[in-house]
Structure 1
């Protein structure tokens, strides 16, 4: 691997319970994505997101948000990714 290649990652899935209504959660996610220069495509049941540092998919199952990270810059530790996601759905 040279300095210009990105590290291949194994996708990780996080399952998080939320008390926030799906429309409110989606509005919050859209706002945070816009503020951080990310793209979020989808609706309150499922979709995908991308940013230069992280990307993945999400879906709702009842009051559970399931997020699968499919792309992550090697400099971002997994605990940071997880804590940011959990903060978003609380």
Structure 2
């Protein structure tokens, strides 16, 4: 469907507590690794469609979710999963899309 809709930029912005943990339990580490592997597989499938895929990430101490981060007047970093380039999200560029 995303190809049919003409999507050119696909952004993944999971809550950081899903990808980063403050505890060192084995159960948390396994869950985190499993989610990361699922995200990689999902992103690879979207990339195969010729769509650019980006991961928005931030420090867990700045907020659990994207909403928390924005309420703290901070922005996420955007990682281009095709090139590995990383930069701070530019809200003005998003508004022009």
Same fold (TM over 0.5): no
Answer 1 or 2: which has greater helix percent.
2
Over alpha carbons, which structure has the higher Rg? 2
Higher relative contact order (CA 8 A, sep 6+): 1
Q: What's the TM-score, normalizing by structure 1?
A: 0.26
